[in-house]
Amino acid sequence: MASRTSRDVLGRGLRVLGQAIREQPRIFAVAVVGSVLFGAMVIASAYVVGGVVGEVVVPSIARGQVGVGTLALAAAALFGISVLRVVGIFGRRLGAGYMQYRLQAAYRRRVTRRYLDLPVAWHHRNSTGTLLSNANSDVEAAWYPIAPLPFAVGTLVMLVGAIVSLFATDWALALVGLAVFPALFALNVVYSRRMAPRQARAQRLRAEVSGIAHESFDGALVVKTMGREAQETARFASRAGELRDSLVAVGRLRGVFDPLLETLPSLGTLAVLVVGAFRLRQGAISVTELVSVAFLFTVLAFPVRAIGWVLAELPRSVAGWDRVRRVLDATGEMPYGQRVLDPATSGPATLTFTDVHFSYPPAEAHQPGAQVLGEVGFTVPAGRTVALVGPTGAGKSTITSLAVRLVDPDSGTVELDGVDVRELTAASLTGTVALVAQVPFVFDDTVRANIALDRPGIDDEDVWAALRLAEADGFVAALPDGLDTMVGERGTSLSGGQRQRLTLARALAGRPRLLVLDDATSAVDPRVEAAILAGLRSSAGAPGVPAASILVVAYRRATIALADEVIYVEHGRVVARGTHTELLATVPGYVDLVTAYEQAEVDRAQERPYDDEVAPLPSGLEIEVDR
């Protein structure tokens, strides 16, 4: 694999550069024009310097006096060439930098947009560290050669001009150039081929190190409570050591080739002086021509390195591009339809599951998927509250994900007001349904911004109405700056229960017609939870209160008792439905589960109060939700 990568890295790298040129042709043209102007002035300066030495300096030494007019003319020529070189450098660097940063910004947006289009199942198969690396270091690596690319293109033009100038001056000196320049190019090709597997491995290890670091920090609560600090540090250190060794290997190879790439032009200059002295003695060339050619080889040493810079970065660019393309070419997105629910309808929506089957995709292509749901069918009638109850792993969270179309069923349908959710536009779906997840996510912003989310039509009055309905207005009013209080990263200044009520208020502020609560008040005192659900039912349709149907994943007896109907699921199937009282009388498994939950709540209340009354957990700590 490494050998194959080494052989085709040049061709693949050139295709990546071609993609960049196609996307930014005008900026690239400006940069190349600047580079060509610089190259032309380099060649011109060589012949001007040769002319000054041969036509001004040597005759002046021979005569014992300096011609002021001739010297002033030579100085003016050199000054004019220097000015044009500065203009060329400015155009080249400005164009190259602008092109590189535009491409990086564009592809960061494309990668991020692709993340949002891909289904949740795809994200389950890719670590957060890898995704962060794709959007950041991989995008940077893909377009890293863009900075020296215009310089390299201008250098190629300059080399052609230099070879033509050499042949116009003397064929023997031209042969020296024909020997040195291809040798430089060949050395760079060998360098890039050897570098390819090293750069690819280093880029992969960067993502792995990022992934381990993110996982360790995000799981700090588990690491600390389980006493795994030393082991996690060792795990990170081991992978960081591999990255260090990989980068050392890159540096070692660069340390071998860089001196060679520096030495060849110097050897070329030496060869020109030796051959040129012999040709000068024969009378084939003049002092002016010899000095011009020698100076040309001297000044070409640096620009020729630009070709080496591009070739040296191609392996890293190809590695980054492959990782970026893996995201952009990923399949499985869920395209939205064109249908829109009747905008005149403002009442609660009806949710219907019909013979729904769902399996999570396998981690490996050759493995079978794990079936989570089978033959699931039920209805949440308009304006009614339906509680979803079942043991851990029964598929409750998957049902809520299907209800808001985070995933699509393998077969069967999920409908809103009789319309398959796959046929709805994104705006119609998100404007109708709101999900409040078990693990609340709060942005590092103000309370107002977290609830309004810059959605049009949501003013402070709507925000306070949503807070009141979520039983959150009291603690928000007590905050130092009220709605303008910064809550910190992931809401670190709030307790768990407060964060849950804040996310509930966020959902309510959008006035959804269907509210899906996935154990969304687990950290809230049971009395507060009951007050919230009772308020949603009794106040629906009142000013500032959305009229919504409710699908709630429930555990507490008091919460379940508020539901109009209870759906009891086991092993991904609906095994019973009815009122709470009916299921208590007819389903032993339901009785055992509710009793166990109730006893757990009693034990928890005895051990410690709910998160509403205690200090918040540290930043970045989350609990994995069972599917």
Average pLDDT over residues 537-547: 55
Burial class (CB in 10 A: 0-12, 13-18, 19+), 172: middle
- Report helix, strand or coil for 81: helix
Percent of residues, the chain, with pLDDT higher than 70: 80
* HEC string for 416-459: ECCEEHHHECHHHHHHHEEEECCCCCCCCCEHHHHHHCCCCCCC
Q: In this predicted model, what pLDDT tens digit does every residue of 442-492 receive, in sequence order?
A: 888 888 888 888 888 888 888 888 888 888 888 888 888 888 888 877 777
Task: Enter the pTM of the model.
Answer: 0.64
Structure tokens at 552: 């709630």
Beta bridge partners of 420: 415
- 362, containing H or E segment: none
More confident residue, 624 or 193: 193
pLDDT of residue 519 exceeding 90, the answer is: no
pLDDT of residue 376 exceeding 80, the answer is: yes
Nearest to 335 by CA among 399, 419, 426, 433: 426
Rounded mean pLDDT of the chain? 79
Whole-angstrom distance, CA of residue 344 vs CA of residue 253: 69
Angle at 72 between CA 69 and CA 74, to 5 degrees: 110
Question: Are 512 and 432 spatial neighbours (Cβ–Cβ below 8 Å)?
Answer: yes
pLDDT of residue 354 exceeding 90, the answer is: yes
Whole-angstrom distance, CA of residue 87 vs CA of residue 617: 58
Q: In this predicted model, what pLDDT tens digit does every residue of 405-453 receive, in sequence order?
A: 888 888 999 999 889 999 998 888 888 898 888 888 888 888 888 888 8
Q: In this predicted model, what pLDDT tens digit does every residue of 196-242 receive, in sequence order?
A: 677 767 767 877 777 777 667 666 656 666 667 777 788 888 888 88
Question: Are 356 and 409 spatial neighbours (Cβ–Cβ below 8 Å)?
Answer: yes
Q: In this predicted model, what pLDDT tens digit does every residue of 105-158 receive, in sequence order?
A: 999 999 988 888 787 767 777 777 678 778 888 888 888 888 888 888 887 887
Count of beta carbons in the 10 Å neighbourhood of residue 544? 15
What does the pLDDT read at residue 623? 31
What does the pLDDT read at residue 617? 34
Of the spans 13-17, 108-112, 164-168, 332-336, which averages the highest pLDDT?
Answer: 108-112
Q: What is the largest CA-CA distance in the chain?
A: 123
Nearest to 623 by CA among 523, 536, 551: 523
Of the spans 65-74, 307-316, 574-583, which averages the highest pLDDT?
Answer: 574-583
Burial class (CB in 10 A: 0-12, 13-18, 19+), 339: middle
What does the pLDDT read at residue 613? 42
Q: In this predicted model, what pLDDT tens digit does every residue of 47-75 receive, in sequence order?
A: 777 777 766 666 666 666 666 676 777 78
Nearest to 113 by CA among 134, 93, 137, 86: 134
